Amino acid sequence: MREPPGPAVEATPLVMPGRWSMLLRSLLHDPPALFGAVVVVGLIVVAVLAPLLAPHNPLTAYPSGLSRNGAPLAPGHGFALGTDPNGRDVLSRLIYGARISLTIGVVANGLATLIGLLIGLISAYIGRWVDTVLMRFTDVVMAFPILLFAIALIAVTGPSVTNLIFVIALLYWTYIARVIHGMVLSLKEREFITATRTLGVSRWRIMFRHVLPHLVPALIVYFTLGVASTILIEASLSYIGIGVPVPTPSWGQMISQGQDYYQIAPWLFIFPGIALVLTVVAFNLVGDWLRDVLDPTTPQRR
């Protein structure tokens, strides 16, 4: 045995166990990120356990949910957060809305990330005409205003959760592609890539076994931040009526419906509004924290 191994030096995060305890400590020292993380985890729990947590069926219009003259009930009396004009339980709809929003946010974003990753990685690494063609194509798609395009696509395909996911994914991948493209361009110049190419290793192996691991931290950060954006996009689309089809609950939809009743039943839009804001802020906080933690150039805080 020649040399005693030295203790690990710089953080190459996500690679080593033992990094987890450092991540946890960093989280505990960062109150906003901790808050965000708690909310996100809570949201996931709510979404997954929706059937167990929801006190009522979100789709059922309960006769007892409306007052004598047909007005929605205020919070209390068996409906913790009140009811909507159809007599449906707001709390249950909120809970199932979380499930819908999160599902759409994660799946649509996951798809967008995958597409963006592939396009960004391949175009940047292979370069030349492939790069030019793919990047110009990305520019073109980016130029479309998302909402308008989404409206047009959904008008053609019809509103459904699946269509919604595809539409969002097909429009959102460009941001990831741009970021990945830039990263790969600079990674290409690193000496270990030159060394591996000189070894005679194939391009594809280099792309997926050498370059891709370096992209993972950025992908995680952008995925997290992206979930916030895609949830908002879904909410916006549902708000204007072309998102999640009624009666499946969606926060955007609930806000849209609630705004007509703001004077007599403010709880109809307040609660979904709070839920939306809280969710988006939480994901953003967690995304920011992840970026700080995974970016090795950030100076260490105490």
- Binding status of residue 24 toward other proteins by CB under 8 A: no
User: Nearest distance from residue 10's CB to other proteins, in Å?
Assistant: 6
Binding of other proteins by 76 (CB under 8 A): no
- Non-local (6+) Cβ contacts of 30 within 8 A are 289, 292
Q: In terms of CB distance, is 27 or 106 closer to other proteins? A: 27
Q: Interface with other proteins includes 210 (CB under 8 A)?
A: yes
**Any contact of residue 10 with other proteins (CB under 8 A)?**
yes
Is there binding between residue 191 and other proteins (CB under 8 A)?
A: yes
Compute the least distance from the CB of residue 296 to other proteins, in Å: 10
Under rule CB under 8 A, residue 8 binds other proteins: yes
Q: Of the two residues 18 and 145, which places its CB atom closer to other proteins in the complex?
A: 18
The CA distance from 150 to 127, in Å, is: 31
Out of 77, 136, 203, 205, the only residue in the binding site for other proteins (CB under 8 A) is 205
Interface positions, 171-190, toward other proteins (CB under 8 A): 190
297 binding other proteins? (CB under 8 A): no
Which one of 17, 52, 200, 297 is in contact with other proteins (CB under 8 A)?
200
Q: Total binding residues for other proteins by CB under 8 A? A: 36
**Which residues of this protein are in contact with other proteins, per CB under 8 A?**
1-12, 15-16, 22, 25-26, 190-192, 194-201, 205, 209-210, 213-214, 300-302
